[in-house]
Structure 1
């Protein structure tokens, strides 16, 4: 895939969805942080069902600490790996209270230091909750998950064997970064989630089918 094809691909995705955003329900950076932490190996729909009940009761670090571990589990027990996620959430809330005055830090290193928060979660929070495109050193906040990795590699947009390799390849290959980079994460994840699916991609109804390098297209 060459530069002109990438521009056309991004332009079509943008025209189809000019203002994309996450499908996780949130109203504050903290709510998004916890929602993304809970979303690992779980669906956004499942996370939303849990947080829609949790957040009216506890949507700050101290409020979740006041719930306690067992209290938190009662709200998120429908989510996969809820025991580990509950423990990480409590630890994260304690660190936010102790180290950051109960606020979510706008810093990738500080976010990644929180239990259960990895590079992807940090990038989502910085990009989606705080509106950051990149840091002061020019490092872009691009969250890559399995949907994005599959889409990038399958279409030929960017190649990478690991999530981080794919992240760097996408950043390198994306033209007109000021125009496209901020929303690229959402365009790719939504297209990968609903159209370029893992087992049965909907190539026949795909708006970028003619631009894609995937050799095993479906009808």
Structure 2
């Protein structure tokens, strides 16, 4: 990655592909703190919006892609969805009936991933719904935002990869490449919600079956991850 001169920072437009549960809020805090011009793409129409931004890109457009192990991210996605859509509404059902059915049927992230190959068609179909048509964080992963064909259109010299598990080093390196200094520790956010989730509904790691099922079901994500890691070095 070639460093950008500090004098150019104010003229660059940073596009953050805010894949949920990958440290996006932390990255946003850094961008805001440094007063950089940026746009975030998160849920809703973000898949179409980032597509348009990449297709219409100019030389002042810089893309920021947070990366996380897909299995670890899936666990966090399930648990965040459970917490934010169900557990924060103890007196009511989830706003979306499908969400309520998903979390009634599956107790943990591992349950969902294993059910992708279940012999019970109802469990299998509900797991497929969660991953492909629920509009939950479980669906909106890296491959949802950046399908492989779109990932190939990213400019290697204007794309930064920020690894979730290494933001403490990747974010300062990103700022250094811009000629900026890192000020203080990385401001992590949303790290305490899991304490509100019953222990029986938490997953420490996916089983072998769950990992295999997830890799098959999320083949676009796996391919995009390979493309990014082969073509673009971390920040």
Q: TM-score range by the shorter chain?
A: under 0.3
- Which is strand-richer, 1 or 2? 2
Indicate the structure whose relative CO is greater, using CA pairs within 8 Å and at least 6 residues apart.
Answer: 2
TM-score by length of 2: 0.22
- Which is helix-richer, 1 or 2? 1
